[in-house]
Chain A
Amino acid sequence: AQKVTQAQTEISVVEKEDVTLDCVYETRDTTYYLFWYKQPPSGELVFLIRRNSFDEQNEISGRYSWNFQKSTSSFNFTITASQVVDSAVYFCALSGSGNTGKLIFGQGTTLQVKP
């Protein structure tokens, strides 16, 4: 069975702090894909990143960075110098190789960035 766990339900930080959102996944597939989506208060899910299981290189995009570690089945997301506009619910998701691309989402982490 496939599963995504985001143990942090809510995180509150003050603007300019760094924050890391944790994601742990379970799958028996050898080929799989991991995603992060942002859901701002408006409700629409916004794609942030996709990573395949063969690429363990960490990625940085502006203030965002992702750390993928197959050894611990984790795909953590760090926001550097957080801003109020980063306040949203963040979802980690998994897509396996033998299926149809359907996403298995975690419960989400609500990030509140206070000014």
Chain B
Amino acid sequence: GAGVSQTPSNKVTEKGKYVELRCDPISGHTALYWYRQSLGQGPEFLIYFQGTGAADDSGLPNDRFFAVRPEGSVSTLKIQRTERGDSAVYLCASSLVAQGGGNNEQFFGPGTRLTVL
């Protein structure tokens, strides 16, 4: 079956612009995660969805970042008034279910490389 897909693969934008990054999880996976990976670092958690609701958004750096998952499948990460420091690879992952303990492996997409000029 298809894995997690993310579009676009690359996005170059100018400081101050608005961007949307899309994630298509594996079919049937109810849990969806967004992470951000800066150069030379490990991925950092941003937000987690269980179904349609954001169950944990504690990793979002500020209110310029927002994510939705209206139908419990595709998710969109939205960044307003982009800054150069937002440049990173944004990774999406999905898993079958995230019960207490996180005992299911997450399957990662290829990421979207965002460059803010």
Contact = CB atoms under 8 A, between A and B. Distances in A.
Interface of A: 4, 31-33, 35, 37, 42-47, 50, 52, 91, 93, 95-108
Contacts, number: 84
A98 B100 CA distance: 6
**Residue from A99, A101, A106 whose CB has the most chain B CB atoms within 10 Å:** A101
B44 A105 contact: yes
Contact of B111 (A44, A47, A52, A97): A44
Contacts of A47: 105-107
16 contacts: A42-B110, A43-B111, A47-B106, A96-B102, A97-B101, A97-B102, A99-B100, A100-B31, A100-B50, A100-B56, A101-B95, A101-B99, A101-B102, A103-B35, A106-B42, A108-B42
Contacts of A102: 33, 45, 48, 56, 59, 102
Interface of B: 31, 33, 35, 40-45, 48, 50, 55-56, 59, 89, 91, 93, 95, 98-111
A99 B91 contact: no
Contact of B45 (A4, A42, A91, A104): A104
A110 to B, nearest CB: 9
Nearest to A91: B42
B102 A107 contact: no
A43 B33 CA distance: 17
